[in-house]
Amino acid sequence: MPLSIGDPAPAFTLPTDTDTSVTLSDFLGKYVIVYFYPKDATPGCTTEACSFRDEKPNFDQRNTVIIGISKDSIKSHKKFKEKEQLNFILASDETGEVCEKYGLWVEKSMYGRTYFGIARSTFLIDEAGKIAQIWRNVSVTGHVSEVLKSV
């Protein structure tokens, strides 16, 4: 059954680009943006990450943490973060366990070929750890502004 607004956000602890780990419950009392994206350094994912980077001061003013999650390795995250000067947490879900908890490991199709991948989605989690808003199958253009308005 897909996650809905008001549901408790599925818990996770994942390794990050800073050689530490991030645990969702560590941010109780803050809003948390958890955005799932398919792949580091691809055009759409870079645009989305840079939009979050550019708006981070505005999210900070709203007591909001940003966490980007993909199945890419920590090494890949580090390169991506350095190249794009990203100023928020990138977490690695190499096993796909967290993507599955959030219902985002889905069958996709491109050029007549089917494969499994991450459905680009964003979750706004409130101070109590409940899902306050969900954006599924995100179109990158204007998305971050929409998320900021919802915080």
| Beta-strand relationship, 21-23 and 113-118 | unpaired
**For residue 136, what are its two tokens?**
């599924």
| CA dist 97 → 34, 69, 70, 71, 129 (Å) | 15, 11, 11, 10, 19
Pick the catalytic residue from 45, 49, 67, 118.
45
Closest C-alpha among 75, 63, 57 to residue 144: 57
Would residue 45 show up in a list of annotated catalytic residues for this protein?
yes
Cα 86-125-105 angle, rounded to 5 deg: 75
Q: Which active-site residues does the annotation give?
A: 45
